[in-house]
Amino acid sequence: MPNTTPETPFHTGFIAIIGRPNVGKSTLMNQLIGQKVSITSKKAQTTRHRINGVLTQDNTQYIFVDTPGFQTKHGGALNRVLNRNVSQALGEVDAVVWVIEAMKFTLQDEAVLKILPANTPVILVINKVDTLEKKNDLLPFVQKIAERFNFKHIIPVSAKKGVQTQVLLDELKPLLPENPPFFDEDDITDRPTRFLATEIIREKIFRLSGDEVPYGCTVVIELFTEEKNMYRIAAAILVEREAHKAMIIGQGGERMKRIASEARQDMEQLFGCKVFLEVFVKVRGGWANNEASLKSLGYE
């Protein structure tokens, strides 16, 4: 437990990271806590569950809530549930970090601007500044958005490269209330190992398969046992159609092998032990459009 003296009280608080899909919210959270607990990919809507990432630094415990990208493009039960998650997160936190992309402000960003809370401090983070061709372009871009809301701070960062992320932590610190730590100093997430295992597999599917499959797939753990210094895990990938199953398996099972092997390596790194992993694919039609089915898969 970190030292707490009357002169240096401990601060602990919740910070929601929000923004439209693909701006780099999960990359930012991973960078801030120094571990990959939230999956990331080039595809929009990678994050589907709220994930808490914990960082304890200098008498402060930051509990980041990574949220699914807020989006208005598609209806459907899954998106309703995802947006509900974001709105809920906003009501329960001490500070909000709104992430946008440098030089790219879309209608989906407008939609997020409209749901920013009036009574909670909001920090605007302008991400991906490493992609800027001309640094001078940034100022007029930032000024326009700064006029639209009373931001506590505006911080340009590169989540990927870790540029200015410590500045963000420093600005967040005074916004967190005096509280004892809620988690152990070396905890990095409140999510159980089995959940992290499904997320890691989902990341590999997102990264290794075509555009059509990922949105219609989810992962469930069928077996999870702890043996001496080893986890034995069997996981099923649920897809909506036979054609998706074929796409995930790939020619001669090649893609499936890569998904399983890269997932196993990430799990061993995150869990710090050996992992024996088996992955199967099953067809289960229409899960993404049925609220009852979503509930049974852990989407609340």
Ligand X SMILES: Nc1nc2c(ncn2[C@@H]2O[C@H](COP(=O)(O)OP(=O)(O)OP(=O)(O)O)[C@@H](O)[C@H]2O)c(=O)[nH]1
Residues that bind ligand X (CB under 6 A): 19, 21-27, 40-42, 44-47, 68-69, 127-128, 130-131, 158-160
Helix (H), strand (E) counts: the chain: 10, 9
* C-beta nearest to ligand X: residue: 69
Q: Which is nearer to ligand X, 156 or 181 (CB)?
A: 156
Q: Least CB distance from residue 251 to ligand X, whole Å?
A: 25
Closest to Mg ion by CB, 25 or 36: 25
* CA 206-20-112 angle, 5° bins: 160
**DSSP for 176-204, written as a single string:** SPB---SS-TT--BSS-HHHHHHHHHHHH
CB 273 to Mg ion: min, Å:
26
The distance of closest approach from Cβ of residue 53 to Mg ion in the complex, given in angstroms and rounded to an integer, is: 11
For ligand X, give the closer residue by CB, 94 or 203.
Answer: 203
Q: Which is nearer to ligand X, 124 or 249 (CB)?
A: 124
By C-alpha distance, which of 277, 284, 299 is closest to 77?
299
- CA dist., res. 134 & res. 293, Å (int): 48
Contact 46, 206 (CB under 8 A): yes
Partner whose binding site includes residue 131, from Mg ion, ligand X, none (CB under 5 to 8 Å by kind): ligand X
User: By C-alpha distance, which of 72, 84, 78, 81 is closest to 289?
Assistant: 78
Cα 262 to Cα 296: distance, rounded to the nearest angstrom = 27
Pick from Mg ion, ligand X, none: which does 24 bind, CB < 5 to 8 A by kind? Answer: ligand X
Q: Which does 85 bind (CB under 5 to 8 A by kind): Mg ion, ligand X, none?
A: none
* SS3 (DSSP) at 212: helix
Q: Give me the least distance between CB of 67 and ligand X, in Å please.
A: 8
100 binds, among ligand X, Mg ion, none (CB under 5 to 8 A by kind): none
Q: Which stretch binds Mg ion (CB under 5 A): 5-13, 22-30, 160-168, 209-217?
A: 22-30
Q: Where does the chain have alpha helices with state H? A: 25-33, 77-91, 107-115, 138-146, 165-172, 193-208, 212-215, 242-249, 254-271, 291-296
By CB under 5 A, name the one of 16, 23, 26, 249 that touches Mg ion.
26
Q: Which does 112 bind (CB under 5 to 8 A by kind): ligand X, Mg ion, none?
A: none
Which CB atom, from 112 or from 267, has the smaller least distance to ligand X?
112
Per CB under 5 A, contacts with Mg ion among 36-75 are 46-47
In contact, 279 and 237? CB cutoff 8 Å: yes
Cβ count within 10 A of residue 233? 24
Residue 265 CB, nearest approach to Mg ion (Å): 21
Q: Which does 61 bind (CB under 5 to 8 A by kind): Mg ion, ligand X, none?
A: none
Q: Which does 189 bind (CB under 5 to 8 A by kind): Mg ion, ligand X, none?
A: none
Question: Which residues is 11 bridged to in the sheet?
Answer: 60, 178
The binding site for Mg ion (CB under 5 A) comprises 25-26, 46-47
